[in-house]
Amino acid sequence: MGDFDNKEREEVFSKKVRAGKRTYFFDVKATRSGDYYLTLTESKKRLEDGVFVKHKIFLYKEDFEKFTEGLTETVEYIKSRQDVVEKRYEYSENTEYAAKSDDDFTF
The pLDDT of residue 8? 61
> Cβ(14)–Cβ(40) under 8 Å?
no
The pLDDT of residue 9? 72
The pLDDT of residue 10? 76
| CATH code for the part of the protein at 10-80 | 3.10.450.700
pLDDT digit string, tens, across residues 40-77: 999 999 989 989 999 999 999 999 999 999 999 999 99
For residue 85, what pLDDT band results from cuts at 50, 70 and 90?
A: confident
The overall average pLDDT reported for the chain is 82
**For residue 20, how far is the Cα from the chain centroid?**
12
